[in-house]
Amino acid sequence: MPLLICHAPTGGVGTTFLAAHLALGLAARGHDVTAIDFCHADALKLFFGLPPAQEVPAMGGAPGAGVIVDGVELLSGWSVAQNPNFLRVLSRPGESPFADDRIVVADISSADLLIKNSLLPHAALHLCTLMPRPASLAALTKVQPGTPAIELDRTAFVLNQADDTLKLSRHSQIFLRELFGDNLIATIRRDEAVNEALASFKSIAKHAPQSVVLPELTALAIAVEARCGLSATVELPQ
Amino acid sequence: MRRDVTALLEKLGRGDFRYRQFADPIADLEPWPLFAALLADERVVGRVELAIEPSIPTGNAAFLAGYAEADPRPARDEPVRGSLHAFLTELSGDPAGDR
Ligand SMILES: Nc1ncnc2c1ncn2[C@@H]1O[C@H](COP(=O)(O)OP(=O)(O)OP(=O)(O)O)[C@@H](O)[C@H]1O
Ligand SMILES: [Mg+2]
């Protein structure tokens, strides 16, 4: 089962938010999913409605040892990734430290290029978050050194925090759609309910069931499923 | 305000919504130098010559083609790509006036 890595060249764009919801969305569609937080900030769990004090077990323990939320097994990969042995294993082609019967969604900090570049060769898909903001768009020059952004065939782009009331956001959406075509696999709007849900330790679905981002996040999971050739194992509306 | 919107707000019994209609983005476009700079950047689009096919653009394609037309790079001193000189030459150019 594939490794899906979530990484963007700039921070603060919503990579962790999308990693969590990709994992939740795939689990809701019947897949066995593990989400691994490779970030020092330990923020992935918040998007599962967990509080900062919640311990998240390190990867590498017994199968199923992680915290389970809405069908997703949550693990921490930060300390393991600091171990040179882990990176050494990753550097061997074809050898993966991940269970092969589950989809693994990895959340990686923008600055952590070592972890990103170590995991990338094992990934079926790299999800690159963009925001309709100049610094995020300018970093399209840095998605994968050596390969132009429009030619990256294992990278899919998601525009997050789009806001149709803002001109630059509308134009960015058109620009990215033209630039990447189908490789811009989803657009997620900006909704303060995302932050309010986090602050309430609740899922968005519980806190704000009408949030515009919910159907958009489902569409993201479906798009990733299609892109990676995963078939849904439960039939769900939408 | 459009009539259907007025009707909807009445139905919802809400007079306190702010309503604004946003123009069709394509009709509302203006060239952003950042977009032009990205479309001229090999790290984004690869070899620049291939980035935008000259055709009769419509809709969104016209939007991008507008950038291509807006900033023809002077052909006479096309810098050698990949060299430090080329890099510095590009840096010194105004991205908006670049390809
Ligand atoms: N669509 C959205 N609407 C509103 N707020 C959002 C949205 N997406 C993300 N956010 C908020 O933006 C902030 C940054 O999101 P997130 O932590 O996922 O970004 P990141 O790219 O992982 O950042 P970091 O570089 O710190 O890892 C968070 O407060 C999150 O709740
Ligand atoms: Mg993050």
Q: What is the mean pLDDT of chain B?
A: 61
Asked if the ipTM is above 0.95, the reply is no
Query: How far is the centre of ligand 2, averaged over its atoms, from the C-alpha of A6 (Å)?
Result: 9
Q: Considering the domain boundaries, does residue A112 fall inside one?
A: yes
Q: What is the mean pLDDT of chain A?
A: 94
Q: Which atom of ligand 1 is nearest to the CA of A190?
A: 3
Q: Considering the domain boundaries, does residue A237 fall inside one?
A: no
Query: How far is the centre of ligand 2, averaged over its atoms, from the C-alpha of A147 (Å)?
Result: 24
Cβ–Cβ under 8 Å, residues A19 and A6:
yes
Q: d(Cα B98, Cα B65) in Å, to the nearest integer?
A: 14
Q: Considering the domain boundaries, does residue A194 fall inside one?
A: yes
Q: Considering the domain boundaries, does residue A235 fall inside one?
A: no
Q: What is the pLDDT of residues A181-213, one digit of tens each?
A: 999 999 999 999 999 999 999 999 999 999 999
| Cβ within 8 Å, pair B35-A175 | yes
Smallest Cα distance from A193 to chain B, Å: 18
Q: What is the pLDDT of residues A51-103, one digit of tens each?
A: 999 999 999 887 778 899 999 999 999 999 999 999 998 998 777 778 778 99
**Considering its fold, how many domains does chain A have in total?**
1
Query: In this complex, which of B26, B28, B45 lies closest to A148 when CB atoms are compared?
Result: B45
Query: Where in the sequence is the domain holding A205, given as residue range(s)?
Result: 3-228
Q: Which atom of ligand 1 is nearest to the CA of A43?
A: 17
| Cβ within 8 Å, pair A179-B43 | no
Q: Considering the domain boundaries, does residue A79 fall inside one?
A: yes
Q: d(Cα A33, Cα A93) in Å, to the nearest integer?
A: 23
* pLDDT score of A166 more than 90: yes
Q: d(Cα A162, Cα B86) in Å, to the nearest integer?
A: 35
CATH of the domain at A178: 3.40.50.300
HEC sequence for A194-228: HHHHHHCCCCHHHHCCCCCHHHHHHHHHHHHHHHC
Q: Considering the domain boundaries, does residue A238 fall inside one?
A: no
pLDDT of residue A63: 77
pLDDT of residue B9: 74
Smallest Cα distance from B48 to chain A, Å: 11
- Most A CBs within 10 A among B21, B43, B49, hence the mutation to make, goes to B43
- A167 chain-B contacts, CB cut-off 8 A: 25, 28
The mean pLDDT value for A132-140 works out to 98
